[in-house]
Amino acid sequence: MKKVLFFISVLLLISFVIFTKFTIGGIILAIYVILSMVATRRNLTLDEIIDISILYGKKSSLVIILFIFIGSLSATWMACGTIPGLVYYGLKFINPNIFLFFVFVICCIVSSILGSAFASTGIIGVALMAIAKTSDINLNLVGAAIISGVYFGDRWSPISVSANLVSSLTGVSIFTNLRNMVKSTIVPFILTSILYLGLSRVFTLDITENLLPNMIMANYNLDIRFIFLPLVAIIVLSIFKVNVKISMGISIVMATLIAMFLQNEKLFDVLNYAFNGFYKFNGGELEKIIKGGGVVSMANATIVIVISCLLVGILEKMEILSFLKSKIRNIDSRANLFANMFGIGVISSMIGCNQTVSIIMTEQVMEEVYDSRGLSREDLTVDLENSAVILNGFIPWNSSCFVPCAILEVAFYIAIPLAFFLSLIPICTFIQYKIADRKSLK
């Protein structure tokens, strides 16, 4: 019976990928099937493959729940007036000549409070993208600035899952970890800010003769005593370190009530928005700006996570970590050590398909190497933060890349190269070690 259910599940995944023409999902699923076939040739039985796949498949449930909250949150915020309100007041007060810089900085602040790139993208990223859609500014560039900002806090926040995971793996306290990251964060942050300031002068937010504020006022009651309460609730609860899913749940309930009593929406309609997405203004001008979200919008991201977890189970069973350790070479300097971790991080990001797996794989491979060279656990922690944590954002089928791009509806092959903060972290770290190595030789 277990085999039958497993094969039915795999067939459903294959059917979904084919029916929706989901290329990235198809690639990961193909890799899983191929590796499963290879595993059977390495004396693994079909029952062992099914058992490990089910075990790791269950681990995707927590992330899937987060996706459900993110989809519901963005849709209910559109219904209650939170996102329309942010767009309305944003157009009135944002300096259009530094829009990209503003996007980057505000996302840095919000993500540092929330501690999650996915949550920050779904909350503030969607609102900023809605503002961008009112102009002819390059949306992929705006998406890049958002992604740069949300990964600032995803990496450097006391409630960040990745920062706490790294601290847990290495035995370094979270606050020591955050303090040590400051040095490697300052230069990339400044350089990223300069780049977005420069690009803001070229790609400005054209809001002249924009009729959107009037259309929003005609369709929403923008009573500021209520419409921003769901956003304030998220921020306050995050400051008090309330679990992000609980914070989102409370915000969704508040948004639902505000939509019903302030915007005169029916409960059934709000629930429909939460599941299928907010598409109230079909055919109208507002549809171009205020639409989307909903649980259904996260379907592709969910499929990626599920298949990724199945894939990780197979990799674990095939002892891929031992293979990666055997490939570490040429560690004759601090810079080369970091380069090796960078390489392992890339491979882990590609085959692990999500940030958590990549971090764990990279740490387990590199831990003995750092210990053998007499380096402290703090050194290991910082290098993990500057490689494995960030690198996931560059791999198209990795959830760290795919999910934010899916939420923002931007092309990853354009947006990710322009997300300067992600690339500047490892580049600046490597340069820093190169300089230190040369000084030590003098």
Amino acid 374: pLDDT: 84
pLDDT, position 109:
84
Q: Could you give the CA distance from residue 286 to residue 205 in angstroms, rounded to a whole number?
A: 18
For residue 439, what pLDDT is reported? 74
Three-state secondary structure of the chain = CHHHHHHHHHHHHHHHHHHCCCHHHHHHHHHHHHHHHHHHCCCCCHHHHHHHHHHHHHCCHHHHHHHHHHHHHHHHHHHHCHHHHHHHHHHHHCCHHHHHHHHHHHHHHHHHHHCCHHHHHHHHHHHHHHHHCCCCCCHHHHHHHHHHHHHHHHHCCCCCHHHHHHHHHHCCCHHHHHHHHHHHHHHHHHHHHHHHHHHHHHCCCCCCCCCHHHHHHHHCCCCCCCCCHHHHHHHHHHHCCCCHHHHHHHHHHHHHHHHHHCCCCCHHHHHHHHHHCECCCCCCHHHHCCCECCHHHHHHHHHHHHHHHHHHHHHHHCCHHHHHHCCCCCCCCHHHHHHHHHHHHHHHHHHHCCHHHHHHHHHHHHHHHHHHCCCCHHHHHHHHHCCHHHHHHHCCCCHHHHHHHHHHCCCHHHHHHHCHHHHHHHHHHHHHHHHHHHHHHC
User: What is the predicted pLDDT for the residue at 300?
Assistant: 79
What span, in angstroms and rounded, lies between the C-alpha atoms of 160 and 215?
A: 38
204-to-149, 234, 286 alpha-carbon distances in Å: 19, 30, 21
Full pLDDT tens readout for the chain, 442 residues: 677 887 888 888 888 888 877 777 787 788 888 888 888 887 788 888 888 888 877 767 767 787 788 789 888 988 999 888 887 887 777 888 899 999 999 899 888 877 778 878 877 888 888 888 878 889 999 999 999 999 998 888 776 778 877 887 888 887 788 888 988 899 999 999 999 999 998 998 876 656 778 888 888 999 989 999 998 888 888 778 787 778 889 999 999 999 999 999 999 999 999 999 888 887 666 777 788 788 888 787 788 778 877 877 787 777 776 777 776 765 778 898 999 999 999 988 887 777 877 887 888 788 888 888 888 899 999 999 999 999 999 998 888 898 899 889 899 899 999 999 999 999 999 999 999 888 776 5
